[in-house]
């Protein structure tokens, strides 16, 4: 570095070097997110060059609709990952949500509304129980949510043993409706981004992130770990329930097993988008980009008219690339600091 | 009695298994018949073999989510290569087992060398394998399992099912590996504290990689044997084994954080899960109820083995003396 | 009128008494220095004040009202702000988010008012004339010195009437140190009580109105700074010691150099260190907290990356990991500073810990030879008089016995160069004596021992020579015969005029 090397303790505090490195640190800070953006751009460019009409509103509407369930599920997962945990139970909640919707909604709008709220509450409740068990029994989130995943999935199978049920046509219409040329999915996405911009600035949002970053400091500040965990996993459950409700607008049916298809992809979307599995770092925008990347890969495979079976391969490789990018950025950042 | 304290979780698993067996014999009197016990044990063997590698990985502080498609890939490959014939097995089986081990090695290297979190590394490898097998088979694997493998999976030598024999041999080998070798000692050390292991000169990288290699191997072996059991390979046959392999290890008393547990406990875990599966139909309970019971059993066992619970138990046991001999807690700085 | 009174504060950790009958009285409007050696109990005392640690007994009053805090927020509510060395900050939050954590200005929809927070931060930094800080940076990107400034800002943001500065200058450059000293004076001038903990007597003398000295977990004396000289303070810090604790020192060093270190450097922390450790010698390393001793030991054990040359028994070594250090016979072994996180598998047995480093050396046909392992363990338990059974988890052992297990583990590796980092810290007096005797016995057998201690008396009594580190360099090498703690402290504390 500089000539100050000969005076070790002084050079730690040398200021001019700090400013020079500001850009570099800012870049390496966001390396995983930037890698995600770059990958998304490349994928979109390839997709756009292969097919007409990719850059139209209609395409945006379609892709958003396709990605929305994953985005909602991954939103909850993002909050949990920021806390430094993981939530496998969202698989159960999604399944349970869709079968409840498909069997309880009926045709009465009031009933539909009531059950929508109930499903949301159930999702939050399952998550709150996760948070409670994790805090009180000092158990690992992985095991607790593995168990509650199984339990809630079982409950879904009891309600509806196989795919089926039906949803009111007005409910289904939500998925296809459009306002100002943009589908409800897009508006939902806008709403979600709005929620995030709000949430990340709330005291709770900051505290969740802080807990994932340095739990001991946060506890010392007098924050109750129970409230943080209940809020974190409760929100995750709530978003899983919302994902279930949205999913039914697309599929028009309930499925007691569909939830498991969203558990690991929700983690993957978040990780591709730059969320650290060690907590504290990343944001929802990255996760949304991650979810879109996973969705566009499906489109690409379709357009290239190769076997759709290539989709998981490409997703897996992209997941590895992004996590390697972030781990390399992390090591280099640590080296430049220490 | 420190030893009983240390093995409490494993004892608990066996206790649970015995209680379950008794319960089952009450509900369905034929359950304890030799034939039924045998078929239960055979089913448990498949879970047990997959969970063998998972046990090593979890003791070492990791987790292996690539189990389902390593298993499935091995199953698909063995049937498609052998095409119902015994002869190709001579080279195909060792090759496939080696390939499974290699996948595990790749997992281990990604985790130990590049610092990728185990969940992500093995998840990515799992979906890549899934895609690869889908592309390879075009979505419909056709060939059926060769007779030799069917013999391994459902045949019997005298009263002993062959697969059970294999499981017993593997269980003994795994237990020896964990208890009687330097590798076993290193694995517990790495799982307890990677830093302390590092400071003690333990070859941490090699240890982690080897644990994942074993996991790849055991998943591949289970895949080959399962084709014999169902007479064919089909897509998705590995999916249930992700949950059951982790559940068996957890019920068997290992901490998901690593450093504790033993394959002997996992054996009980595999048996508990299998007995439950057999019990519920006897009670006229559906698949849904089974999942609920699975989840509840995991929650109850890990809660009983948890630190909080042992604190509560020790307080109940010694209501007067306080604080003395407490392990946790900081030191002055 | 004393604003803060602490009477008979006691705190134990397991069997170790960190603080017994700590007494402290301080007035508003003064800078009050707390002095004492490492482990004298002053850290525990201020952690209790700051709500980070709960005392076992004793009474504290603030403005005459009883005070008891179970976390830092309650301490803040009572007007106490603390700047710890072990920073309480959150790496992934920005500087301003850290400063205002849990007391952010909130808008009507519950979000943090960014502009208001930024303005408040700027106002805060300007009011106390902070050195330049990038307030929108995430904390983990900051240097140690800047983090220290953030910690100070965080404490000031809550407008404390009692401000605790614990070694707050140790990470700061000289201009920033000047600023902080001025700030402390100014705050006291405005009526606050500033409790100032530092090893730098010069600083204390410049700003403190009064000093309280801690030793061995108790407060021993209090003075007006103007009416006391340095020698008295140092004498109080050191106290009279039980010299019987220490073995007879008879030099057993040979001419043969076991470990030759040339121009050893660790990024920013250690520069140009040259040492010759001879066979049969105990070479003491003395330094105040954070002057490169940790890095020196970690580098020699292959834990930290380093530059420079290290020769072991005349042969150049590459030290990339502890495996390199321990490799083969006559290697390098370490008794680490942090027993729990670096030295022992707390949940595992005495036997498993003792043989962890060497388990591969006594396998037969690939299997561990249980009989030989038991014999080796029994021998070591016996030799070191470890009061435990081989199968007992080490977490249930006393600190002294845990340390013996670490010694046993190290001796079993057959390493001949031993790095002992504060091996007697936090253990009972009896075991301390045994450990020092063991060190001299080992030296007599031809082991070469590098020995750091935070307790200068130990170095004076046990080491053959003493290398004093200051600011990451060897400031002096003193001959063990006739060296006093005062000599060492002087070399370690007092900067040379030329800089």
pLDDT tens digit string along C352-396?
A: 999 999 988 888 777 888 888 999 999 999 999 888 888 888 888
Residue C499, pLDDT above cutoff 50: no
Please answer whether residues B261 and B55 qualify as being in contact, where contact means their C-beta atoms are separated by less than 8 angstroms: yes
Contacts of B333 in chain C (CB under 8 A): 43-44, 47, 86
- pLDDT-derived band at C243 (thresholds 50, 70, 90) equals low
- The per-residue pLDDT of chain A, averaged, comes to 84
Confidence at residue A332, expressed as pLDDT on a 0 to 100 scale: 65
Confidence at residue B283, expressed as pLDDT on a 0 to 100 scale: 77
Identify from B5, B199, B261 which residue to disrupt to test chain C contact, counting C C-beta atoms within 10 A and taking the largest count: B199
Confidence at residue B333, expressed as pLDDT on a 0 to 100 scale: 31
Check if B308 contacts A (Cβ < 8 Å).
yes
Please answer whether residues B205 and B112 qualify as being in contact, where contact means their C-beta atoms are separated by less than 8 angstroms: yes
Residue of A228 and A282 predicted with greater confidence: A228
Summarised one tens digit per residue, pLDDT across range C157-168 is 988 999 999 888
d(C-alpha C388, C-alpha A63), whole Å: 66
* Chains in contact with A via at least 3 Cβ–Cβ pairs below 8 Å: B, C
Which single residue is written with the structure tokens 């005070």?
C67
Mean pLDDT, range A151-178, rounded to an integer: 84
Confidence at residue B293, expressed as pLDDT on a 0 to 100 scale: 86
Chain A nearest C-alpha distance from C300 (Å)? 18
- pLDDT-derived band at C350 (thresholds 50, 70, 90) equals very high
Please answer whether residues C125 and C95 qualify as being in contact, where contact means their C-beta atoms are separated by less than 8 angstroms: no
Check if A337 contacts C (Cβ < 8 Å).
yes
Summarised one tens digit per residue, pLDDT across range A125-140 is 999 999 999 998 888 8
Mean pLDDT, range B235-244, rounded to an integer: 89
Assign C478 to helix, strand or coil. strand
Cα A141 to Cα A236, A264, B278, C192: the distances in Å are 12, 15, 29, 45
Confidence at residue B139, expressed as pLDDT on a 0 to 100 scale: 74
Distance, C-alpha C179 to centroid of its chain: 25
Check if C93 contacts A (Cβ < 8 Å).
yes
Confidence at residue B318, expressed as pLDDT on a 0 to 100 scale: 52
Residue B40, pLDDT above cutoff 90: no
- Half-sphere exposure of C183 toward its Cβ, with a 13 Å CA cutoff? 26
- pLDDT-derived band at C290 (thresholds 50, 70, 90) equals confident
Residue of C103 and A334 predicted with greater confidence: C103
- pLDDT-derived band at B307 (thresholds 50, 70, 90) equals low
Which single residue is written with the structure tokens 């009263």?
B159
Confidence at residue C29, expressed as pLDDT on a 0 to 100 scale: 92
Q: Which of residues 404-433 of C touch B (CB under 8 A)?
A: 409, 413, 426
- pLDDT-derived band at A98 (thresholds 50, 70, 90) equals very high
Q: Which range (A310-314, A330-334, B62-66) has the least confidence?
A: A330-334
Q: Which residue of A has its CA nearest to B312?
A: A137
Mean pLDDT, range A91-112, rounded to an integer: 89
Query: Could you tell me where the beta strands, DSSP code E, fall in C148-242?
Result: 162-166, 193-197, 210-215, 218-224
Chain A nearest C-alpha distance from C157 (Å)? 14
Assign C174 to helix, strand or coil. helix
Residue A89, pLDDT above cutoff 70: yes
Contacts of B120 in chain A (CB under 8 A): 267-268, 271, 277, 319-320, 323
Confidence at residue C338, expressed as pLDDT on a 0 to 100 scale: 82
d(C-alpha B261, C-alpha A277), whole Å: 25
Contacts of B3 in chain C (CB under 8 A): 391
Summarised one tens digit per residue, pLDDT across range C310-335 is 999 888 888 888 999 988 777 899 99
Assign C498 to helix, strand or coil. coil
Q: Which residue of B has its CA nearest to C339?
A: B196
Residue of C244 and B15 predicted with greater confidence: B15
Confidence at residue B311, expressed as pLDDT on a 0 to 100 scale: 66
Summarised one tens digit per residue, pLDDT across range A37-52 is 888 898 888 888 887 7
Residue A11, pLDDT above cutoff 60: no
Summarised one tens digit per residue, pLDDT across range A240-282 is 999 999 999 888 888 998 988 899 899 999 998 888 888 788 8
Tokens of B16: 């649970």
d(C-alpha B298, C-alpha A150), whole Å: 10
Mean pLDDT, range A27-44, rounded to an integer: 82
Please answer whether residues B90 and A281 qualify as being in contact, where contact means their C-beta atoms are separated by less than 8 angstroms: no
Mean pLDDT, range A79-104, rounded to an integer: 93
Chain A nearest C-alpha distance from B114 (Å)? 7
Identify from A146, A155, A158, A163 which residue to disrupt to test chain B contact, counting B C-beta atoms within 10 A and taking the largest count: A146
Q: Is the ipTM of this complex over 0.85?
A: no
- The per-residue pLDDT of chain C, averaged, comes to 86
d(C-alpha C359, C-alpha B197), whole Å: 12
- Helices (DSSP H) in chain A: which residue ranges? 8-12, 15-20, 22-29, 31-50, 57-83, 90-104, 109-136, 141-159, 169-176, 184-199, 203-213, 215-220, 225-251, 260-272, 284-303, 310-337
Mean pLDDT, range A19-45, rounded to an integer: 76
Residue of C457 and A198 predicted with greater confidence: A198
- pLDDT-derived band at A25 (thresholds 50, 70, 90) equals low
Cα C181 to Cα A9, B315, C121, C178, C203: the distances in Å are 18, 50, 21, 5, 8
Summarised one tens digit per residue, pLDDT across range C174-193 is 788 889 999 999 999 999 99
Q: Which of residues 112-141 of A touch B (CB under 8 A)?
A: 133, 136-140
Check if B123 contacts A (Cβ < 8 Å).
yes
At residue C31, φ and ψ (nearest 5 deg) are: -95, 120
d(C-alpha B16, C-alpha A275), whole Å: 40
CB contact under 8 A, A327 and B116: yes
Contacts of C334 in chain B (CB under 8 A): 199
Contacts of B330 in chain C (CB under 8 A): 13
- pLDDT-derived band at C202 (thresholds 50, 70, 90) equals confident
CB burial string B20-53: b at 16+ within 10 A, e below = bbeebeeebeebeeeeeeeebbbbbbbbbbbbbb
Q: Which residues pair with A202 in a beta bridge?
A: C111
CB contact under 8 A, C52 and A220: yes
At residue B268, φ and ψ (nearest 5 deg) are: -65, -40
- Helices (DSSP H) in chain B: which residue ranges? 2-6, 8-27, 34-59, 67-82, 89-114, 118-137, 147-154, 162-180, 182-192, 194-199, 204-230, 240-251, 263-282, 287-305, 307-317
Chain C nearest C-alpha distance from A338 (Å)? 7
Please answer whether residues A78 and A268 qualify as being in contact, where contact means their C-beta atoms are separated by less than 8 angstroms: no
Summarised one tens digit per residue, pLDDT across range B98-107 is 999 999 999 9
Contacts of A17 in chain C (CB under 8 A): none
Distance, C-alpha A135 to centroid of its chain: 23
**Among B4-13, B162-171, C4-13, C39-48, which range has the highest average pLDDT?**
B162-171
- The per-residue pLDDT of chain B, averaged, comes to 84
pLDDT over 70 percentage in chain C: 95
* Chains in contact with B via at least 3 Cβ–Cβ pairs below 8 Å: A, C
Q: Which residue of A has its CA nearest to C171?
A: A9
CB contact under 8 A, C173 and A210: no
Parallel/antiparallel/unpaired status of strands C218-224 and C210-215: antiparallel
Confidence at residue C378, expressed as pLDDT on a 0 to 100 scale: 93
Check if C79 contacts A (Cβ < 8 Å).
no
Contacts of A156 in chain B (CB under 8 A): 288
d(C-alpha C213, C-alpha C207), whole Å: 16
Check if B330 contacts A (Cβ < 8 Å).
no
Check if A315 contacts B (Cβ < 8 Å).
yes
Mean pLDDT, range C105-116, rounded to an integer: 88
Contacts of A321 in chain B (CB under 8 A): none
Confidence at residue B52, expressed as pLDDT on a 0 to 100 scale: 96
d(C-alpha A251, C-alpha A65), whole Å: 11
Tokens of C333: 């072994």
Q: Is the pTM of this model over 0.90?
A: no
Please give the angle made by the CA atoms of A255, A260 and A261, to the nearest 5 degrees.
90
Residue B174, pLDDT above cutoff 50: yes
**Among B56-65, B111-120, C69-78, which range has the highest average pLDDT?**
B56-65
d(C-alpha C367, C-alpha A77), whole Å: 45
Confidence at residue A23, expressed as pLDDT on a 0 to 100 scale: 66
Residue C339, pLDDT above cutoff 90: no
The closest CB to that of B250, out of A143, A264, A309, belongs to A143
**Which residues are CB-neighbours of A327 under 8 A, at least 6 positions away?**
B114, B115, B116
Check if C245 contacts A (Cβ < 8 Å).
no
- Half-sphere exposure of C55 toward its Cβ, with a 13 Å CA cutoff? 27
Residue B216, pLDDT above cutoff 90: yes
Using DSSP, how many helices (H) and how many strands (E) does chain C show?
16, 22
- pLDDT-derived band at B197 (thresholds 50, 70, 90) equals very high
Mean pLDDT, range A109-135, rounded to an integer: 93
Q: Which range (A178-187, B261-270, C400-409) has the least confidence?
A: A178-187
């Amino acid at each position: 570095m500089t000539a100050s090397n000969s005076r070790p303790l002084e050079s730690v505090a040398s200021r001019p070097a700090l400013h020079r490195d500001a850009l570099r640190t800012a870049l390496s800070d966001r390396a995983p997110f930037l890698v995600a953006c770059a990958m998304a751009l490349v994928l979109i460019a390839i997709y756009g060059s292969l097919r007409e009409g990719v850059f139209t509103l209609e395409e945006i509407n379609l892709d958003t609709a396709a990605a929305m369930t994953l985005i909602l599920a991954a939103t909850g997962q993002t909050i949990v990952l920021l806390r430094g945990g993981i939530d496998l139970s969202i698989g159960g909640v999604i399944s349970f949500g869709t079968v409840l919707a498909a069997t309880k909604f009926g045709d009465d709008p009031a009933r539909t509304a009531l059950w929508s709220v109930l499903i949301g509450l159930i999702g939050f409740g399952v998550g709150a129980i996760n948070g409670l068990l994790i805090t009180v029994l000092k158990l690992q989130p992985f095991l607790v949510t593995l168990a509650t995943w199984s339990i809630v999935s079982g409950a879904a199978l009891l309600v509806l043993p196989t795919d089926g049920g039906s949803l009111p046509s007005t409910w289904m219409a939500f998925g296809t409706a459009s306002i100002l040329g943009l589908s409800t999915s897009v508006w939902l996405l806008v709403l979600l981004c709005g929620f995030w911009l709000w949430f990340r600035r709330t005291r709770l949002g900051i505290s969740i992130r802080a807990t994932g970053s340095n739990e001991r400091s946060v506890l010392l500040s007098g924050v109750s770990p129970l409230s943080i965990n209940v809020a974190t996993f409760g929100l995750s459950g709530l978003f899983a329930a919302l994902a279930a409700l949205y999913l039914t607008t697309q599929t028009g049916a309930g499925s007691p097993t569909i939830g498991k298809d969203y558990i690991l992809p929700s983690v993957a979307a978040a990780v591709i988008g730059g969320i650290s599995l060690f907590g504290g770092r990343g944001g929802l925008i990255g996760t949304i980009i991650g979810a879109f990347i996973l969705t566009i890969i499906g489109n690409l495979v379709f357009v290239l008219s190769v076997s759709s079976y290539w989709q998981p391969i490409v997703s897996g490789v992209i997941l590895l690339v992004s996590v390697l990018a972030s781990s390399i950025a992390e090591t280099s950042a640590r080296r430049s600091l220490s | 009695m420190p030893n009983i304290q240390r093995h409490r979780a494993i004892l608990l698993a066996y206790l649970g298994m015995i209680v379950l067996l008794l319960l089952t014999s009450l509900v369905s009197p034929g359950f304890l018949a030799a034939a039924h016990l045998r078929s239960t044990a055979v089913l448990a063997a498949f879970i047990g073999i997959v969970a063998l590698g998972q046990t090593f990985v979890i003791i070492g502080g990791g987790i292996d989510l690539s189990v389902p498609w390593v298993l499935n890939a091995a199953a698909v490959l063995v049937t498609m290569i052998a095409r119902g014939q015994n002869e190709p097995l001579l080279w195909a089986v060792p090759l496939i087992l080696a390939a499974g081990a290699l996948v595990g090695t790749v997992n281990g290297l990604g985790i130990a060398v590049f610092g990728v979190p185990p969940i992500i590394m093995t998840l990515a490898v799992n979906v890549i394998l899934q895609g690869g097998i889908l592309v390879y088979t075009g979505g419909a694997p056709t060939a059926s399992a060769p007779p030799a493998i069917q013999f391994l999976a459902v045949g019997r030598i005298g009263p002993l099912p062959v697969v059970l024999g294999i499981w017993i041999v593997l269980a003994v080998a795994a237990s020896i590996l964990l208890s009687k070798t330097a590798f076993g000692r290193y694995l517990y050390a790495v799982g307890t504290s990677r830093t302390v292991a590092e400071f003690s000169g333990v070859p941490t990288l090699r240890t982690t990689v080897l644990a994942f290699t074993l996991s790849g191997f055991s998943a591949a072996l289970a895949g080959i044997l399962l084709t014999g059991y169902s007479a064919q390979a089909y897509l998705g046959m590995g999916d249930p084994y992700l949950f059951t392999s982790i559940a068996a290890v957890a019920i068997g008393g290992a901490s998901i954080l690593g450093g504790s547990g033993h394959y002997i406990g996992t054996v009980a875990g595999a048996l508990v899960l299998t007995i439950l599966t057999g019990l519920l139909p006897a009670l006229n309970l559906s698949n849904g109820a089974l999942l609920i019971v699975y989840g509840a059993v995991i929650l109850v066992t890990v809660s009983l083995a948890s630190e909080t619970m042992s604190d509560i138990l020790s307080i109940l046991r010694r209501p007067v003396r306080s604080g003395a001999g407490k392990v946790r807690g900081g030191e002055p700085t | 009128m004393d604003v803060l009174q602490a009477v008979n504060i006691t705190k134990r950790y397991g069997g170790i008494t960190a603080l017994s009958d700590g007494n402290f009285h301080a007035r508003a409007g003064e800078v009050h220095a707390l002095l004492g050696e490492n482990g004298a109990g002053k850290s525990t005392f201020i952690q209790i004040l700051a709500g980070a640690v709960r005392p076992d007994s004793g009474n504290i009053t603030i403005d005459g009202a009883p005070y008891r805090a179970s976390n830092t927020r309650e301490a803040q509510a009572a007007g106490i702000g603390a700047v710890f060395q072990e920073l309480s900050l959150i790496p992934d939050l920005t500087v301003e988010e850290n400063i205002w954590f849990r007391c952010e200005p909130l808008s009507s929809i519950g979000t943090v008012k960014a502009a208001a927070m930024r303005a408040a931060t700027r106002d805060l930094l300007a009011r106390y004339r902070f050195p330049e800080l990038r307030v929108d940076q995430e904390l983990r990107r900051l240097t140690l010195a800047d983090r220290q400034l953030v910690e100070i800002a965080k404490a000031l943001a809550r407008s404390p009437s009692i401000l605790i500065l614990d070694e707050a200058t140790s990470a700061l450059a000289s201009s920033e140190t000047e600023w902080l000293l001025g700030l402390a004076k100014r705050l006291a001038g405005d009526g606050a009580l500033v409790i100032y903990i530092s090893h730098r007597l010069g600083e204390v003398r410049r700003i403190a109105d009064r000093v309280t000295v801690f030793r061995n977990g108790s407060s021993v004396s209090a003075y007006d700074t103007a009416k006391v000289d340095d020698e008295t303070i140092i004498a109080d810090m050191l106290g009279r010691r039980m010299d019987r604790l220490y073995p007879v020192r008879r030099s057993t060093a040979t001419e043969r150099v076991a470990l030759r270190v040339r121009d050893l450097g660790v990024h920013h922390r250690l520069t140009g260190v040259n040492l010759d450790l001879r066979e049969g010698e105990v070479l003491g390393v003395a330094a105040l907290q954070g002057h490169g001793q940790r890095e020196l030991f970690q580098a020699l054990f292959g834990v930290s990356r380093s530059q420079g040359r290290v020769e072991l028994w005349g042969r150049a070594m590459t030290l990339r990991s502890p495996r390199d250090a321990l490799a083969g016979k006559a290697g390098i072994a370490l008794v680490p500073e942090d027993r729990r996180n670096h030295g022992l598998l707390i949940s595992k047995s005495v036997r498993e810990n003792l043989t962890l480093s060497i388990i591969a050396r006594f396998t037969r046909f690939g299997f561990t030879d249980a009989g030989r392992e038991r014999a080796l363990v029994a021998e070591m338990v016996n030799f070191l008089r470890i009061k435990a059974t081989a199968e007992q988890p080490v977490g249930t052992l006393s600190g002294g016995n845990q340390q013996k297990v670490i010694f046993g583990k190290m001796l079993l590796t057959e390493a001949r160069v031993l790095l002992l980092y504060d091996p007697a810290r936090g253990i009972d007096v009896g075991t301390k004596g045994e450990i020092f005797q063991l060190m001299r016995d080992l030296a007599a057998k031809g082991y070469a021992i590098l020995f750091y201690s935070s307790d200068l008396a130990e170095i004076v009594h046990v080491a053959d020579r003493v290398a004093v580190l200051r600011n990451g360099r060897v400031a002096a090498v003193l001959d063990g015969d006739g060296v006093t703690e005062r000599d060492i402290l002087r070399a370690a504390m007092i900067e040379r005029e030329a800089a």
